[in-house]
Amino acid sequence: MVSVYYKCRMRWCPSSVLHLLRCLRSRSCCRRGRNNRLPPWIRDTWAYMTVLARSLYFNSLTDSDVVFDSIFEPVFWTVDYVTRWFGMVFVCLVVLLTSSIVVIAYVVLLPLVLNTYSPAWIAWHVCYGHWNLIMIAFHYYKAAKTCPGYPPTEKNDRPFVSVCKKCIIPKPARTHHCGICNRCILKMDHHCPWLNNCVGHLNHRYFFSFCLFMTLGCVYCSISGRNLFLDAYNAIEASYQTPAPPYTFKDKMINKSIIYMWVLTSTVGVALGALTIWHAVLISRGETSIERHINSKETKRMAKQGRVYRNPFSYGRLNNWKIFFGVEKRSHWVTRVLLPSGHAPHGDGLTWEAHQVKKDLIPV
């Protein structure tokens, strides 16, 4: 091969060049033959890595976001997979923790209330506690079991704004793809692992009502049980300092149960209360959690152009709340907001009035 090369240097000969190309081709074939001797999984892995590397510079539209998503795709896939399979664990955890508080309330607190409180306070605690418990259980069950809403998969004449790259179906306005559910969700807000379900058009109200009434229940337990918590904490501290504890095993378990209840409800009340306030702000603005990020970017983009961005799905603060809760007359503030109600949300989730409405959509 070397001699042929030098001969070609001395004299340009087409036959020599052809011979050189044949030699190079034979060497490449030999290398391919060596690669073919590798195990299939190694060849498949190498081929996949090659395609992945080439996809990073496939066209001129590639930017840092595309490269970042491609590199961290295994991490995103792992998170989605774990969240999908551990959803039932989170649901069981919510049920167990809530049930433990209810058991403590009935076994420990209710006898103390009946023995120490006045009849008026007893009536207040019994009525409010049971109403709050019913609202929590109802809205949690409905939020977890209600379908969030899916766009139609068959051909139809409904307007759409884009085509989902993963589902390969038309996406109506406010529809987004959930990687955990592996489906497109109408008016998707987020995927909640504590519900093992997506929060979308059909169950968004149930999710927010559950967060609201769970927060109220935790605050109620935390405030009403503050004095009991302080007494139980001081009793346990005193029993550890004295050589002969004057408290029986039952008294110790009651004190520890009160401390457990107060710490858990106070912690959950603060964390869930912050989440509830955040969603209340979004509802007032006519946004979802996903749309909040989209509208923020659009606001900055239009601000650079000297223009002001307005959310096309916001109809005013009061109207946004009416549409969200489905309030169509004054009595609905009680029957549909303060009492359990399974009414359907406003609209079908496929079409939206994407313009600023000055008048009252629902005259209440």
Among the listed residues 178, 301, 141, 317, the one whose alpha carbon sits nearest the alpha carbon of residue 187: 178
Label the pairing between strands 183-185 and 176-178: antiparallel
Residue 237: phi and psi, rounded to 5, are: -65, -40
Measure the CA–CA gap between 284 and 325, rounded to whole angstroms.
12
Q: How far apart are CA 297 and CA 224, in angstroms?
A: 44
CA distance 132 to 232: 25
- Say whether 192 is catalytic: yes
Return d(Cα 195, Cα 92) in angstroms, integer: 10
Active-site option among 178, 181, 184, 192: 192
| Residue 361 near residue 315 (C-beta atoms within 8 A) | yes
Phi-psi region of 353 (alpha: psi -120 to 50; beta: other; left: phi over 0): beta
- Measured distance CA(275)–CA(218) in Å, rounded: 14
Print burial letters for 201-228: b (CB count within 10 Å at least 16), e (below 16). bbbbbbbbbbbbbbbbbbbbbbebbeeb
Active site residues: 192
